[in-house]
Structure 1
Amino acid sequence: MGRFLREWVRGRVLVVVVALLGIQLGSLVAPAYACGCGAMIPGAHESVGVGREESVVRWDGRQEQIVMSLTVDGDADRAAWIMPVPHRATVKLGDPELFTQLRTATAPVHRDRYHFWPDDGDWPLGDGDSAAAPAPGAAAPQGVGVVGRQKLGPFDVARLTATDPAALDHWLDANGFVMPPRLQDALQPYVNRHWEYVAVRLAPDTAGAPLSGTLDPLHLTFASTRPVYPMRLSRLARTPQSLGLYVLAAHRMQTRSAIGGDRPRVTYAGRVDTTWGPLAELAKGAPYLTAIGQEFPHPSSISGDHELRRASSDAPYQQVVHEDHLRTVAGIPAWLLTVVGTLAVLVAAAVAFAVRRSRSPQPAHTGVR
């Protein structure tokens, strides 16, 4: 029996080891492709993911501007990023201060809220200590047109046209990056609609260091009669995606649909009142700011791009975060004083009643023998 048990244990351990090796090898041959607005393409046998994306869409009725800030992580030291655009785009570096101003402008309002009875974390239900939580690349293959090539900080930016997704694959391959076959299929709808593409090759400042952290923002500008935020390619992501989208327009804006993600939620709506910095400059002619948040638990369900439209009203909105506090008097919980005081009154009344009863004259008892 003991020998059988030892052999069974060794067999189970071997199965677990083989499974872990399989997972590790799978991570080497299946890099992660993730980007809420395009497709992040790492080098061979490497992975890179976009955990958070913040983007600004500014639309004045004729022209659209998109400023993107991506937070990435992975083991890739180089990666390519592809974004479709409906018309020819110009590209420049964005100002990181823009997102600092946006976060400040759209931050929730914190208000104190008091409760009488103890809640979770309050004594005696808890301990009362609750913490808040580039060198030019190879020549373009037939079917790809290179409209322009420029070096912007850590980015090597190419503006492309393509009549075949496979041609984009060849172009990326010639420049040192391999496009996954699934991306070719995802690009087909854009090819059918004659969109163009912004291809970005990026690398960290330190040679050999993995891409990690928040990248410098990129600022795209192109003609557009209808505001759109490209999202279709993000269906290739292998992990849940989070999108933070700021929209600057003449009025409050909303998305037409959820495009396969959780319901988009408005976290802020109101007119821009700042008069300085990159936010004030970008908001000229489009002074109404709408902040939209959305989660994509299953990116493969993403069905298209985010089309934006005017909301039914320009009603302002700002999130309110309540800070709950137990009501106290001189540092003592009010409920405790109330309970103790009530008990004291009841005890005093009982004592008074007993004393009064003991002092009452007792009636005389007579009897006949």
Structure 2
Amino acid sequence: MRGNIQDRTPVRGPRRQRLLLVVLALLALQLGSLVSPAYACGCGAMVPDKQSHVYVNRETSVVGWDGRTEQILMRFTVDGDAPKAAWIMPVPSRATVELGDSALFDELETIIAPEHRTRHYFWPRGDDWPFLGGSGDSAGEPAPAAGAPAVGVVGRERLGDFDVARLTATDPGALRGWLEQNGFELPDGLARELKPYVEQKWEYVAVRLAPETAGSVLRGTLDPLRLRFASDRLIYPMRLSRLARTAQSLGLFVLAPHRMEPRGSIGGNAPEVTYAGKVEPNAALSGFTGGGETFLTALDQEFPEPKRIDGDHELRATDKDTPFRRVVYENQLLTVAGVPAWLLTVGGGLAVLVAVVLLRVRARRRSPVVPPPAIQVPPPIA
């Protein structure tokens, strides 16, 4: 018997409480799965319309610079329910905009992939026999003339899912007005963050993201955009990312004559170099650089507190073009012809020891028995 009826009767109060806790926990997990990770939109600001939401799940940028002209190729992976959105990027001079080649990102990821090396160890570890039976560890146009309007549209074109407008502005509120006229609302504080660019007489690339298919929403990986503008410095705009409310992550592929490094951390963690080395352009890479050997520097940086971002990234050449590549070690037990070396060593040693003992025993058995010397009794004393 498992018990009487009273033992099997449920206690409604405590069980209901436990059930409620389980439901709340599952609800929390579901809500957590809907929150997309935040990545740095360092080159601008993504703005949906008033009734929609858009999340930039990933932004990857390739920056090229030859000392006179800078190129930035960007590819966004987005999610949300927005049928359209706007995106703004400040640039130091007049920019040209076109669709880019998405194959370049795959080519660069292949180049910077870490090198895999095998590192052997002698004695067995926890995943090896006889323990658990494992096998190892696994260029620009002239600026507008004086007296130009506060907002000037110097070019506008349709590129795939993008409606691109190249703008000039003479006051921080100019872009707000342009966006509001086009059905968008700037986030609080963005006009303030645009002020330094206005003071430096930068221009802007404003992009409306609108799928060509009616009824579609912005979701998935968008076609990359390629911007080109004149610049005697290698600059990657980051100031607008200070408006983000969650931690940000930045990844850059930098193609230049030499190995490059940021002049500072601009309020984030120290940038980490994940690859540095000369590359021979081919296929998509040649189309971006124009051919010829170039130096690739791959950088990653974290911004735990975006509000501390205090400027744009300016990159400079390092003292030496020291190559660097990540190495991933795969630990393996040292073997000889498939047999663990330690087993051969220990087994061989034991075999030698046993052989020595047996030889000694055999030698003793074969040696003649020498009788003990006779005991000589001294003669009696007379």
For the Cα contact (< 8 Å) 1:250–1:285, is it kept in 2?
Answer: no
Change in Cα spacing, 1:184 to 1:118, as seen in structure 2 (3 Å) is farther
Asked if 1:128 is matched to 2:138, the reply is no
Change in Cα spacing, 1:317 to 1:355, as seen in structure 2 (3 Å) is same
CA-CA distance at 1:225 after TM superposition: 1.2
Q: Distance in 1 between matches of 2:77 and 2:20?
A: 38
- Equivalent position to 2:314, from 307, 315, 332: 307
What residue number does 1:138 align with? none
What residue number does 1:57 align with? 63
CA-CA distance at 1:306 after TM superposition: 0.8
Amino acid at match of 2:98: K
Structure 2: gaps of 5 or more residues: 1-11, 139-148, 373-382
- Equivalent position to 2:223, from 216, 223, 230: 216
Length, aligned pairs only: 348
SS at match of 1:103: helix
**TM-score, normalised via structure 1 length:** 0.78
Amino acid at match of 1:337: L
- Equivalent position to 1:320, from 327, 331, 353: 327
Change in Cα spacing, 1:158 to 1:125, as seen in structure 2 (3 Å) is farther
SS at match of 1:181: coil
CA deviation profile, 1:238-270 (whole Å, cap 9, x unmatched): 343332212222222111112222222222223
What residue number does 1:163 align with? 170
For the Cα contact (< 8 Å) 1:33–1:40, is it kept in 2?
Answer: no
CA deviation profile, 1:19-70 (whole Å, cap 9, x unmatched): x89x97xx99xxx895132111223343323333222222222221111122
Please, what is the CA RMSD of the aligned residues? 3.9
Q: Distance in 2 between matches of 1:49 and 1:127?
A: 46
Q: 1:81-120, aligned counterparts within 5 Å?
A: 81-119=87-125
What residue number does 2:232 align with? 225
Q: 1:182-261, aligned counterparts within 5 Å?
A: 182-261=189-268
Q: Distance in 2 between matches of 1:291 and 1:84?
A: 23
Q: Distance in 2 between matches of 1:145 and 1:286?
A: 38
Q: Distance in 2 between matches of 1:108 and 1:158?
A: 40
CA-CA distance at 1:229 after TM superposition: 0.5
Q: Distance in 1 between matches of 2:126 and 2:77?
A: 35
- Equivalent position to 2:294, from 285, 288, 298: 288
What residue number does 2:343 align with? 336
What residue number does 1:74 align with? 80
Structure 1: gaps of 5 or more residues: 133-141, 365-369
Q: Distance in 2 between matches of 1:168 and 1:127?
A: 65
CA deviation profile, 1:304-347 (whole Å, cap 9, x unmatched): 11101111012333333333322223323222333444455556
CA-CA distance at 1:119 after TM superposition: 4.3
For the Cα contact (< 8 Å) 1:249–1:287, is it kept in 2?
Answer: no
After TM superposition, the structure 1 stretch with the greater mean CA deviation from structure 2, 117-126 or 332-341, is 117-126
For the Cα contact (< 8 Å) 1:259–1:305, is it kept in 2?
Answer: yes
Q: Distance in 2 between matches of 1:73 and 1:118?
A: 48
CA-CA distance at 1:215 after TM superposition: 1.6
Q: Distance in 1 between matches of 2:267 and 2:363?
A: 77
Q: Distance in 1 between matches of 2:39 and 2:47?
A: 6
Give the greater-gyration-radius structure (CA).
2
**TM-score, normalised via structure 2 length:** 0.75
Change in Cα spacing, 1:150 to 1:123, as seen in structure 2 (3 Å) is farther
